[in-house]
Structure 1
Amino acid sequence: MTKTILTTALVLTLGQIGIAQTGFDKTKLDNYFNALEQNNKFMGSVAVSKNGEIIYSKTVGLADVENNTKATENSKYRIGSISKSFTAVLVLKAVEEKKVCLNQTIDKWFPTIINADEITVKHLLGHRSGIHNFTNDKDYLTWNTQPKTEKEMVEIISKGGSDFKPDSKAAYSNSNFVLLSYILEATFAKSYADLLQEYIVKPINLTNTYVFGKINPNNNECKSYSFAGTWKVENETDYTIPLGAGAIISTPSDLTKFADALFGGRLLKSESLEIMKTIKDGYGIGLFPIPFYESIGFGHTGGIDGFSSVYSHFTDDKISYALTSNGTNFNNNDISIAVLSAVYDKPYEIPVFATYNLTPEELDGYLGVYASKQIALKITITKDGNTLIAQATGQSAFPLEATEKDKFKFDRAGVVLEFSPADNTMILKQGGGQFTFTRE
C-alpha cells in the first residue's frame, strides 16, 4: 500500500546453492538484531519455521514509543499487501466451491468500471485488469485515514479509469484486490473479516490474525513509526479502504503457519495452489517469486503507513520465513538476507553504524532544489532540526543520515547522496546507478 521512494530494491539474492539446516548460530543472529535496535534502525519481529516448527524468532523495539512499551513475540503488526495472499486463497476457495469462476467478467458486480465486460476475476488476481491503482493518486494520503463505504470506494476506483487494455500486460494495483474483497462479500453474503476467520484463521488455528480496526495498544497492537532523528508516529489508514488489499494484522509466527499450511496443501487443492504459483509478467496469484541463492520461494511483501513486512516459503527445504515491522530506518531486504543466510549457513555481517554529527547551521549548506539532466526527477533538500530531509518529485519525504562530511545515506532504500556545496552539485547513488544533480 505504500509508495515507492526513488527506486525499490529487489528481494533477496541469487547465487550458489545453499543447504538449509537448523543448527545455525542463533547468538550471532540475535546480535545482528541487537545492533539494529541499539542504533534505531529497526523495530519489529521475525520468525522462521522448518518442517512446521518455529526454529528462530526475535522481536526488537517498541510497540508503543510514546508509552515506552516493548514489543513481544505476541505483538501484532499490520501486514499491508501480504493480505493479498489471504484474499487470493479466499477467492480460490470460492472457485473450488463453484461460487465464482475465474474467467467470469466483473460487469455483474461493477458496471461502472471501465472495461468491466472484458476484465475477469483472474485478471484482478494477477494484476492484469488495467484498473488504475488508487493509492498512486496524489490526493490519496489526504483521505486514507477516513472510513469509506463500498459505494464510495467503487466510485473512486471507477473515476481512476484504465491504464491499459485488460490482459495486455501486468501492473500492480491495489484497486484489484479491493474489488475482489467486495466480490467475496457479495458471493458469500458475509463480511471479508468473517470470511477470513471462517476459511483461513480457524481451520489452521492462527491466534493473532484478523482484519484490523483502530490500533489498540491494550490488545498488543503496535503503532507504526517513521524515523527522522527520533521515532515519529504515523497516521492510521482506515481498514475500510484497503480491505483485502491490505487490512490484515498478524505476527511472524502466524504468517509462517499460514505459509506452511498454504504450501502444505491444507488450505487449497493442489490445482488451486498451482494457479497461485503460476508466474506471468512477474506476478502470480497473490504471490511473487522470492529467490534466495538457488532456492526459489513464494510469498509477498507488504507496507502500510509505517508498517512493512514480507513472508516467503521455500518448499524444497520446508522453510517459511516472515518479517513484520512497525518502524524501519534500514533496508528490510538486507535483514531478510541476513536471517536466511543464518538459516542456510551463508555468510553475513553484523552491521556497524558510524555516526557523524552536524549542526543545523552546517546543514544549511545543503538545502535547495536539485535537478538532473540524466533523469526526470527533482529532489528537494530541507531540514528538520539536526536531520536533513530529502523528497523526490511526487514521492514521500525521507530522512538522511550523515556518515561523513558531505555524505548522507538512507538505508531503507539503499540511497547515498554526496554533496559538493561549493559546486552546487549532488550525486545520487542507488542500485548501482549514479546520477548528478545541480542545485537550481
Structure 2
Amino acid sequence: MKAVCRLHFVLLFFVVVLSFMAPANPAANLLTEDEFISNWSITEPITAAAATDQESQQKAFSTEALDLQTLTASATTGELVLNEKSYAWNEIQAATGIVDLVKEFGALEYCYVYAIAHLTSATERNTLFGLGSDDGVKVWLNGELIHENFIGRPVNPDDDLLGVQLQAGENILILKIHNLQRDWGFCLRPLSQNKTSDALARAVNEGNVDDVELLLSYGADPNGMIGPDLTPLHIATIKGRQQIADLLQQSGADPQIPMPEKTKIIEFLFERAIKDNYPGASVLIAQDGRILYENGYGLANIEQAIPIEPRTTFRIGSVTKQFTAAAILKLQEEGKLSVQDKLSTFIPDFPRGDEVRLFHLLTHTSGITTYTDTHDFLDKVTDDITTDQLIEEIKSLGYTFSPGEAWSYCNSGYFLLGYIVEKVSGLTFDAYLMQTFFQPLDMQQTGVYRKGLNLPHEAIGYSFENDSVALALDWNMDFAGGAGNLYSNVEDLYKWNEAVFGGTVLKPASLSAAFAPVVLNNGEQAQAMGGGYGYGWSITNLRGLQCISHGGGLHGFNTALMRLPEKNMTVVVLCNCAPNIPNLNPGQISRDIAEIYHYESMTRQEERRISTTVDTSLYDDYVGKYDYGQAILTVRRSGDRLFAQLTGQAEYEIFPSAPDKFFWKIVDAQIEFVRDENGHIIHGLHTQNGATIKVARIEESQEVAVPVEILQTYVGDYELAPNFILSITLEGEQLYSQATGQSKVEIYAKSETEFFLKVVVASITFVKDANGLVTGLVLDQGSVHIEAPKIK
C-alpha cells in the first residue's frame, strides 16, 4: 500500500527510532532507519512444487495453502503443519541484516520459507521500506498483502521499495521467500532520507517514474546529492529522461546547481563499485586524438597489494576479434587471400567447407557450432591443447544453421581465422600481429598470452560470487586463439583505435567492409548484439550516435573498447574480475561515460511507468513464443500479469506502459507487440541499449500423446555428420535429444513421428522403413535440413 502523504523530517540530525519498547519476543524488532530488521521467526524450508518449470514454481509462489491467522499462530507454538507435514519455526538473528538462508538451511532449491517479524510503533505512521530478496518475495503487513514479486535475482538491498502504514502498537510482518536455484536470502529495512536520496538517484537512472514518484512522496530530497555533488536532476539530464526531469523540478529540484566535472562523475562510477582489497579496472577516455582521462582503480594483484594503473595489462578476450579480422583484411589487401575464399581452400577436409566463405567466419554467419558452448569446455580449458587438436574438435561439432542463413556468435569461426592467418602468412599468429600492427603502432604491452608468460604489470583474474572475491579459473589461452588470446592495456588499445579510425591500419575499402553490418541470405540485416555486426566489430546505435565497439569476457576478465566515430571518441575499460563486481560492467560503464561526455547531442530516452489503464483482457493475445534467433522468448499469462523468459535465462515479469507495450524492470528493455490488419499479434519489437530488433511470433505446434512403446523405438544414436551424433533418450514418458557437446533438451510430439523443440525453432522427424523399423531421422532448423541415419 502506497502512502498518501509526504514525510516531514523535523530533526534531520538525529537517528529516528520508530519504537522505544524493548522486544517482547525473539522476533520483535526496534526499528531504526537504515538498519536491517534482524530478528526473525522462520520456518524450515517447504518444497514449492515437484515440477521445476517456471510456471509450476510461479503457481506455488502465488498460492497459499493456509490462512495468515493460522500461520501466525503456528509461530507461537513453534510448529507449522502443512499438508500433514510438520515444519519447525526457527528463531534467527541476522548479524549483518541480510538473512542468508543457505547458511541457515543448506543449499536447497525450488522451495520457500515463511518469515515473521514483529514491529512496534509508538504512533501510526507512514514508512518507506527497502527490500532485497533472492528470489521471489511476498509481503503481508497486518494481514494485508502489500507486495508480490516473483523474480530470479541475487539479494541487493532496497531493490524493491514498499510504502507502508504502520499502526500504533504491534505490527506483524510476514514474508514468503521463494528460492529457485543457488543462493537464497533476503533483507529489509526502513529507509532514512539519506537512503531515499540514494534510491531516488537509482530510480532516475533507470527511468522508473513510479519509484521516483513514490520516493518523492516519502521525502526524498530532489536536490539530494550523491558522489561528486550529483543531483537527481543531473542524472535525468545525462540520461535523457525529460519526463523525470520535469517531475523533479515540479518537486523543487534546482536547475541552477552546476553539473559536476565530468572526471569527478567518472571517478564516482568506479569508486562506488570497487572496495578495499578488491580487483578493479583501468579506464582511458580520449577525443580528437587527446587523452581526456586515464586512471586505475582497485588491485591488479590482491595478494601482493599491487594497484591497477593505466599501464596494467589485462587479457582482453574477444576484443581480440577485431585484430584477427584486421589481419585477414590486411592479407586480402596484400593479395594473399580473399574474404570470398572458401574455408575448404585452407582446411580441405572441413565438413561442408565448400559452403563456408571467410566472410561467414568474420561475421558469425557460418553456422558452425561454437566450441566454447560444449558441455565439457570449462572442464578442460586449463589443459594443454594444440591448434590441430582444437580444429579437429570444431570439425566434429557440425552446424546449427546453413552458412549465411542466420547470425550466432561463434568463437569457432575466429579460432579458424587465427589459424588461417598463420597458414597464409607463414608466421605464428603472434609474430604476424607483432610485425604488422603492434611494432609499427608502438603497442609494446600487447601480444598473445601464453602459459608461463611473465608480464611486468599483469593483472591477475578474479571472480566475484556469493558476495566474495576469489581467484578465477585460469584459462590456457591456447583454447582462445584468434577468438580471444590477446593481452593489452588501455594505452595500447587507445593507440590501436586512433590508428584504425585514422586510416593507418587498413585501406578505406577494408574499413568500409569491416564496419558494414552483415546482411543474411534473405536480404535482411542480421540482428546481432543489439545492432549489426561487421568484420570483428559490433555496430550499434547509442542514443542517436553510431557506436563501433567490441567487448571481451572470460573467467577473471571483462573488457570493452568503444569508438564514437561522429565524436572521434575512444573509451577503453578493462576489468580483472568476471563474474563482475556489482556495478562494474565495462560495457555499461563505457556507455555511461559516453553519455556523460555527449548527453547534449544524444536523443532522449523513454521513461518507464506502469499503466493502470491497459486492458488486461487482451493479455492472452501476447501469450506465445517469439524468435530471437538462437533463443526463444516465451510469454505467458498468470492472472492479470505477464511473464517473459528468454531461453537459458530466468523468467521475469513484464509491465504495461501503453497498449501493446511492455517493459522489464530488471533491465532497461521494452517490447512492443505489433498487430496485423486483423488485430492478431504477428511480431514484437524489442528495444534495449538504444537498438531495436524485430522478433517474429512462432506458430506453436500442438502436443499429442504417443505411447511409450513407440517412443522407445526412437531411442538411439543418429549421425548428423562425421563425429557429430544426436542421441535420443527416454526418461519415463519424456523423449530427449542431445547433440555431441551440447545440453540435453526435451522434444515434444506433434504426431507419432514428428517432434519439435521448445528452446529453439527446430523439428525432428523419425524415418521408418517398410517394416516399421526406425532407420534415421530428419533434423530441420531454419535452413538446415539434415538426414541422419540411425547408427546405434
* TM-score band w.r.t. shorter chain: 0.7 to 0.9
State which of 428, 439, 443 in structure 2 corresponds to 1:202. Answer: 439
Aligned to 1:35: 272
| Equivalent pair of 1:114/1:162 in contact (CA under 8 Å) | no
| Equivalent pair of 1:87/1:244 in contact (CA under 8 Å) | yes
Aligned to 1:353: none
What is the alpha-carbon distance in structure 1 between the residues aligned to residue 534 and residue 277 of structure 2? Answer: 35
What is the alpha-carbon distance in structure 1 between the residues aligned to residue 391 and residue 286 of structure 2? Answer: 39
Aligned to 1:329: 581
What is the Cα-based RMSD across aligned positions, in Å?
3.2
Asked if 1:256 corresponds to 2:506, the answer is: no
What is the alpha-carbon distance in structure 2 between the residues aligned to residue 272 and residue 102 of structure 1? Answer: 11
* SS class of match (1:36): coil
What is the alpha-carbon distance in structure 2 between the residues aligned to residue 316 and residue 175 of structure 1? Answer: 33
Aligned to 2:358: 121
Normalized per residue, which structure has more strand? Answer: 2
State which of 504, 508, 530 in structure 2 corresponds to 1:270. Answer: 508
- Matching of residues 380-395 of structure 1 within 5 Å: none
Aligned to 1:318: 568
State which of 519, 522, 546 in structure 2 corresponds to 1:296. Answer: 546
State which of 411, 426, 438 in structure 2 corresponds to 1:174. Answer: 411
| Equivalent pair of 1:51/1:318 in contact (CA under 8 Å) | yes
What is the alpha-carbon distance in structure 2 between the residues aligned to residue 291 and residue 311 of structure 1? Answer: 15
| Equivalent pair of 1:14/1:294 in contact (CA under 8 Å) | no
Deviations 1:218-238 (A, max 9, x none): 621111111133211112211
State which of 334, 337, 347 in structure 2 corresponds to 1:97. Answer: 334
| Equivalent pair of 2:299/2:308 in contact (CA under 8 Å) | yes
Worse-matched range after superposition: 173-182 or 61-70: 61-70
Deviations 1:7-64 (A, max 9, x none): 9xxxxx9969xxxxxx953123223322222388871111111112211112111111
What is the alpha-carbon distance in structure 2 between the residues aligned to residue 135 and residue 142 of structure 1? Answer: 11
| Equivalent pair of 1:103/1:122 in contact (CA under 8 Å) | yes
State which of 23, 34, 55 in structure 1 corresponds to 2:292. Answer: 55
| Equivalent pair of 1:15/1:292 in contact (CA under 8 Å) | no
Asked if 1:342 corresponds to 2:575, the answer is: no
| Equivalent pair of 1:41/1:330 in contact (CA under 8 Å) | no
Aligned to 1:242: 480
Normalized per residue, which structure has more helix? Answer: 1
| Equivalent pair of 1:290/1:312 in contact (CA under 8 Å) | no
Worse-matched range after superposition: 109-118 or 273-282: 109-118
* Amino acid corresponding to residue 142 of structure 1 in structure 2: D
What is the alpha-carbon distance in structure 1 between the residues aligned to residue 515 and residue 347 of structure 2? Answer: 27
* SS class of match (2:533): coil
| Equivalent pair of 2:562/2:590 in contact (CA under 8 Å) | no
User: Please, which runs of 5 or more residues in structure 2 have no aligned partner?
Assistant: 1-151, 154-237, 242-259, 519-525, 527-531, 602-623, 626-631, 635-645, 654-663, 672-792
For residue 433 of structure 1, report the CA deviation from its aligned partner: 8.3
Aligned to 2:77: none
Asked if 1:68 corresponds to 2:295, the answer is: no
* Structure 2 CA distance for partners of 1:217 and 1:97, relative to 1, 3 Å: closer
- Matching of residues 200-239 of structure 1 within 5 Å: 200-214=437-451, 219-228=456-465, 229-239=467-477
* SS class of match (1:38): coil
Aligned to 2:559: 309
* SS class of match (2:440): coil
| Equivalent pair of 1:14/1:292 in contact (CA under 8 Å) | no
What is the alpha-carbon distance in structure 1 between the residues aligned to residue 539 and residue 278 of structure 2? Answer: 27
What is the alpha-carbon distance in structure 2 between the residues aligned to residue 170 and residue 227 of structure 1? Answer: 31
For residue 250 of structure 1, report the CA deviation from its aligned partner: 0.8
For residue 217 of structure 1, report the CA deviation from its aligned partner: 6.6
- Matching of residues 361-440 of structure 1 within 5 Å: 429-430=666-667
State which of 533, 557, 560 in structure 2 corresponds to 1:283. Answer: 533
Aligned to 2:281: 44
* Amino acid corresponding to residue 259 of structure 1 in structure 2: N
What is the alpha-carbon distance in structure 1 between the residues aligned to residue 330 and residue 544 of structure 2? Answer: 31
Aligned to 1:383: none
Deviations 1:411-436 (A, max 9, x none): xx9x99xxxxxxxxxx99455589xx
| Equivalent pair of 1:24/1:343 in contact (CA under 8 Å) | no
Runs of 4+ in 1 over 4 A off after TM superposition: 13-16, 39-42, 215-218, 373-377, 392-395, 427-434
* Structure 2 CA distance for partners of 1:293 and 1:433, relative to 1, 3 Å: closer
TM superposition score normalised by structure 1: 0.73
* Amino acid corresponding to residue 307 of structure 1 in structure 2: F
State which of 79, 84, 98 in structure 1 corresponds to 2:321. Answer: 84
Worse-matched range after superposition: 242-251 or 328-337: 328-337
What is the alpha-carbon distance in structure 2 between the residues aligned to residue 278 and residue 105 of structure 1? Answer: 21
* Amino acid corresponding to residue 272 of structure 1 in structure 2: S
Aligned to 2:373: 136
* SS class of match (2:513): helix
For residue 345 of structure 1, report the CA deviation from its aligned partner: 5.0
Greater radius of gyration (CA): 2
* Amino acid corresponding to residue 336 of structure 1 in structure 2: S
Aligned to 1:360: none
* Amino acid corresponding to residue 492 of structure 2 in structure 1: D
* Structure 2 CA distance for partners of 1:322 and 1:107, relative to 1, 3 Å: same
User: Please, which runs of 5 or more residues in structure 1 have no aligned partner?
Assistant: 1-5, 8-12, 17-22, 348-372, 378-391, 396-412, 417-426, 435-440
| Equivalent pair of 2:371/2:412 in contact (CA under 8 Å) | yes
* Structure 2 CA distance for partners of 1:239 and 1:218, relative to 1, 3 Å: closer
* Amino acid corresponding to residue 299 of structure 1 in structure 2: S
- Matching of residues 139-178 of structure 1 within 5 Å: 139-178=376-415
* SS class of match (2:506): coil
For residue 169 of structure 1, report the CA deviation from its aligned partner: 1.7
| Equivalent pair of 1:127/1:170 in contact (CA under 8 Å) | yes
What is the alpha-carbon distance in structure 1 between the residues aligned to residue 386 and residue 454 of structure 2? Answer: 26
For residue 393 of structure 1, report the CA deviation from its aligned partner: 9.6
For residue 66 of structure 1, report the CA deviation from its aligned partner: 2.2
* Amino acid corresponding to residue 166 of structure 1 in structure 2: P
| Equivalent pair of 1:302/1:309 in contact (CA under 8 Å) | yes
* Structure 2 CA distance for partners of 1:39 and 1:340, relative to 1, 3 Å: farther
What is the alpha-carbon distance in structure 2 between the residues aligned to residue 15 and residue 186 of structure 1? Answer: 50
What is the alpha-carbon distance in structure 1 between the residues aligned to residue 500 and residue 446 of structure 2? Answer: 15
What is the alpha-carbon distance in structure 1 between the residues aligned to residue 303 and residue 276 of structure 2? Answer: 18
| Equivalent pair of 1:126/1:286 in contact (CA under 8 Å) | yes
What is the alpha-carbon distance in structure 2 between the residues aligned to residue 57 and residue 167 of structure 1? Answer: 41
* Structure 2 CA distance for partners of 1:113 and 1:431, relative to 1, 3 Å: farther
| Equivalent pair of 1:134/1:140 in contact (CA under 8 Å) | yes
| Equivalent pair of 1:215/1:223 in contact (CA under 8 Å) | no
What is the alpha-carbon distance in structure 1 between the residues aligned to residue 308 and residue 560 of structure 2? Answer: 18
* Structure 2 CA distance for partners of 1:232 and 1:278, relative to 1, 3 Å: same
* Structure 2 CA distance for partners of 1:215 and 1:46, relative to 1, 3 Å: farther
What is the alpha-carbon distance in structure 2 between the residues aligned to residue 325 and residue 307 of structure 1? Answer: 6
